[in-house]
Structure 1
Amino acid sequence: MTRVLVTGATGYIGGRLVPQLLQAGHEVTCLVRSEWKLTDVPWRDRVEVVEGDLSNAEALQTAMDGVEVAFYLVHSMRAARDFGEGERHDAESFAAAAASAGVRRIVYLGGLHPSGVALSPHLASRAAVGEVFLASDVPAIVYQAGIVIGSGSASFEMIRHLTEVLPYMPAPRWVRNRVQPIAVRDVLRYLVGAVTIDEDLDRTFDIGGPDVLRYGQMMNGYAVEAGLPQRPIASLPVFTPWLASQWVNLVTPVPRRIAVPIIASLQNDCVVHEHDIDRYIPPPEEGLLTYREAVRLALRREREGEVETSWRGATVPGAPSDPLPSDPDWTGHTVYTDARERRSAASPAAVWSIIESIGGENGWYSSPIAWAARGWIDRVLGGVGMRRGRRHPSRLNTGDVVDVWRVESIDRGRSLRLRAEMRMPGRGWLELGVEPSGEGSLYRQRAVYFPKGLAGRLYWAVLLPFHGIIFGGMIASILQAAERSSGERA
């Protein structure tokens, strides 16, 4: 049994790694910026959680106490100009804390990239983080992986939506570049295996699946597995990474802030140059998953509602990270609310089933045109828009994403609080709740808004006339759906 630290436990890879480490018999500490995001994960009671970020020396020291292996699985999408003051400082602080605590190994997941060429800002920053760890006083295993394929990964979502939406694909020249994708389950296998390697290794390892493909071949490989016709692809020289990211932003749910660095990293061939990791972590007898096997597995997991983590859970820059202050703490704030309640003949359970399944394919039970318009405005402003959907069609957990909202708290069967992550001049929440009332139920709904400056106040004033349509329509439609559901059960 080894005591390990995982940073990025609320992220796509980290959220899947933690249960794998626990299954392997290791003790796990998670360093997270917002502890509430782990409230509903099934393994919460089996790990120690330290709240704090990488710039907090005290939190780092606490998290590193007794740790033998420390995983560094955080990476922002900031521009290269911010790396010196942001990414490098975080990596150096982490390495220094690990050395002070006597950690015997750092494990980092970086990006696969060619040598001797100019890298995109995204790949350059990931490579630089790896160099910080290799130059530190703690031995480091730096994995370099290419496109990760799995249910919920941003790269998989880009391939999926570009292929499904476009019968003909005008594409940048990078669709002809060679890439070596890897299944997320194989990435996790390498990460877990790094804990028990005996040698004091201090080096990089390239990791990738068995297939070397052009990006266009990956799109058509997805089409085959999804039962779609092959897509004609035209390579056009006019698409810059920025222009291509606008195109991706338009036809996929992946926002520009994520699409830009991913696309920029595809400007060069990204293939494995060595397989040295096989000496320390041999491949499974059946071999690593092929690209099409990984796609097939991802599609099956999504159909069965078994997506453990998703790119949708990534923190949105500019969105509030702290929970809504309790009502007594509103003193001193300018607060606008829209509160409504209505009694219903439907049972509390029937109302709750509608509340918990709101958003995504189920919609918002009022003026779909208004919601769609707000989503498009958000996308134009560089926000997440309405197309992030939700991970599971009928169940929510704390930290889950629902379109432009994030689940901030859930008291299952009673109340749900959503925090807005759309672009707006202020901070907003939506609360939905139900409680027994006589032979039926009492439904409560409240929108809460903390405006920022004059723009925030004008924003609320402009939207105020539409509240009756949006929020009034929502309360009526939710209860109608609940009463209809109760009648069908009866």
Structure 2
Amino acid sequence: MSTAPSGRLALVTGASGYIGGRLVPELLASGYRVRCLARTPEKLRDHPWRERVEVVRGDVVSGEGLAEALADVDVAYYLVHSMSGGRDFASTDAQGARTFAGAAARSGTGRIVYLGGLAPEHVELSAHMASREEVGRILVEAPVPAVVLRAAVIIGSGSASFEMLRHLTERLPAMTTPRWVRSRVQPIAVRDVLRLLVRADELPEGTDRTFDIGGPEVLSYAEMIQRFASVAGLARRLIIPVPVLSPGLSSLWVGLITPVPPSVARPLVESLRHDAVAGEDDLARTLPDHGRIPFDEAVRLALRRIDEDRVDTRWSSAAWPSAPSDPLPTDPDWAGGSLYTDRRARYADASPESLWRVIEGIGGQRGWYSWPLAWAARGWIDLAVGGVGPRRGRRDPERLRVGDSLDFWRVEEIVPGELLRLRAEMRLPGPAWLELRVGRADGRTVYCQRALFHPRGLAGHLYWKAVTPFHGVVFGSMADNIAGRAEADERDAQRPSDGVTGGT
């Protein structure tokens, strides 16, 4: 990792976006002081690095706050562009670039760094790609030296282009696709993008030009789908290109199949109409490094948190992810893959200790405090398809520890008195967990229950939809009965024992 000269100040615009939110901690780790410009500073409050940066309220189009934000800045990262703007988004983007560049010149900023899109020359670009090219040109021609990095598909959880690839591949074992699936693309890992953005500040003083950046492989979009499927453990996808499907229809098709909004899908689809391959690799020669991450490894890193069968992702924790390719709590709802959740909560008129004893004693001879026939049937179905079945029981009738088998579950995490997390070992089209928690609210004990399922492929999505109608009976009654059992146990403990009184 590069190290910034002592005291060097970096300004990041677009810090609430995908790249900006991940660039800030990289700059901090490299020794920079960081200031963020935001139209709505409140959007940054959930970022773990918020207390380590200065935030200035401002707007690159109107110029509000730019003088304050750019004061004493050594390098300014311009990461603002429209993905789903209105009809005049291109003129708004251009005006923002001009206003920002002018303010940077007046403040004496040493360098501007911008991340644009990789597109071929001498072809008619989509409106969004043309706008990003125009922003890059404006910054390079402005008085302050600018470094413009142009990237194609960025591979990392939360990247819009990666999420579209993820959802299409996971949900469609067979697909008829527009001819843009044959387009050649040079994808790049988000870790490499962030590293190059930070290192762009190491270029010789006065460097004022555009650099193409990409990963080590050039693939068609269809090849990316097949390679993603292989890494994710999915069967090879059947892809049948069709000659006629406009970008508008393509974006509607993507919006129907995936949770990516059509307003976001359309610019992504339009950018794939042409090849997106680096025309040069001058940056690698100017700033020698140890190479770029191959596509398969970039996908593996983006999927790593789920592939390791760990549930501490953005869906269950607001903690800072351990790597730039992990999801952020502030990513859009459609980012980070699908995770289906069934949540239940019940007040229990019992002490937290009584509730915890019921939770820790679950399974085995005591059962699951739910519809016994449903649990038994699920266990026998699992046994019939080669799974562990329902009869493993538990090691100890009163105590659990991490790693214990518990019927067709495995204890993945236990915090005595607070949390029991079980990972399913039944045969399912995706990993599943069951969390049982003891909480407090309004001075009362609360039982919190959460079932989570990460579908793998279309079979996973269909499985969840098939079993959802039964959740009210299975999981609802389970929550009611666990809370009720704790209340009954507490009443029994408080009831005076029957005694025999003797007389003369």
Superposition TM-score, scaled by structure 2 size = 0.64
Selected match of 2:332 from 313, 316, 319: 313
**Alpha-carbon distance between aligned partners in 1 of 2:481 and 2:156, rounded to the nearest angstrom:** 34
Structure 2 residue aligned with 1:239: 245
**Alpha-carbon distance between aligned partners in 2 of 1:481 and 1:156, rounded to the nearest angstrom:** 43
Residues 181 and 436 from structure 1, CA distance in 2 versus in 1: closer, same or farther, beyond 3 angstroms? closer
1:279 CA drift (Å): 2.6
Gaps of 5+ in 2: 1-5, 314-320, 335-344, 356-417, 419-438, 449-475, 491-504
Selected match of 1:180 from 167, 175, 186: 186
Structure 2 residue aligned with 1:300: 304
Structure 2 counterparts to residues 21-420 of structure 1, below 5 A: 21-78=27-84, 81-284=87-290, 287-303=291-307, 304=310, 305=313, 306=321, 307-309=326-328, 312-313=331-332, 344-345=348-349
Selected match of 2:10 from 4, 9, 13: 4
Residue 259 of structure 1 aligns to a residue whose secondary structure is helix
User: Which one-letter code corresponds to 1:313 in the other structure?
Assistant: P
Q: Which moved more, 1:237-246 or 1:217-226?
A: 237-246
Question: Alpha-carbon deviations, 1:341-392, whole Å to 9, x = none?
Answer: 99653779999xxxxxxxxxxxxxxxxxxxxxxxxxxxxxxxxxxxxxxxxx
User: Which one-letter code corresponds to 1:250 in the other structure?
Assistant: L
1:85 CA drift (Å): 3.4
**Alpha-carbon distance between aligned partners in 2 of 1:11 and 1:265, rounded to the nearest angstrom:** 19
**Alpha-carbon distance between aligned partners in 2 of 1:67 and 1:485, rounded to the nearest angstrom:** 62
User: Which one-letter code corresponds to 1:75 in the other structure?
Assistant: H
**Alpha-carbon distance between aligned partners in 1 of 2:351 and 2:260, rounded to the nearest angstrom:** 38
Structure 2 residue aligned with 1:462: none
Residue 220 of structure 1 aligns to a residue whose secondary structure is helix
**Greater Rg by CA:** 2
Residues 438 and 216 from structure 1, CA distance in 2 versus in 1: closer, same or farther, beyond 3 angstroms? closer
Structure 2 residue aligned with 1:416: none
1:198 CA drift (Å): 2.6
Say if 2:183 and 2:273, in contact at 8 Å, map to a contact too. yes
User: Which one-letter code corresponds to 2:235 in the other structure?
Assistant: P
Question: Alpha-carbon deviations, 1:148-176, whole Å to 9, x = none?
Answer: 00112111111111111111110000101
**Alpha-carbon distance between aligned partners in 2 of 1:350 and 1:93, rounded to the nearest angstrom:** 63
Question: Alpha-carbon deviations, 1:300-353, whole Å to 9, x = none?
Answer: 0344424343884399xxxxxxxxxxxxxxxxxxxxxxxxx99653779999xx
Residues 113 and 85 from structure 1, CA distance in 2 versus in 1: closer, same or farther, beyond 3 angstroms? closer
**Alpha-carbon distance between aligned partners in 1 of 2:350 and 2:250, rounded to the nearest angstrom:** 49
Identity %: 50
Residues 54 and 478 from structure 1, CA distance in 2 versus in 1: closer, same or farther, beyond 3 angstroms? farther
**Alpha-carbon distance between aligned partners in 2 of 1:210 and 1:485, rounded to the nearest angstrom:** 59
Q: How many residues are treated as equivalent by the alignment?
A: 350
**Alpha-carbon distance between aligned partners in 2 of 1:484 and 1:146, rounded to the nearest angstrom:** 56
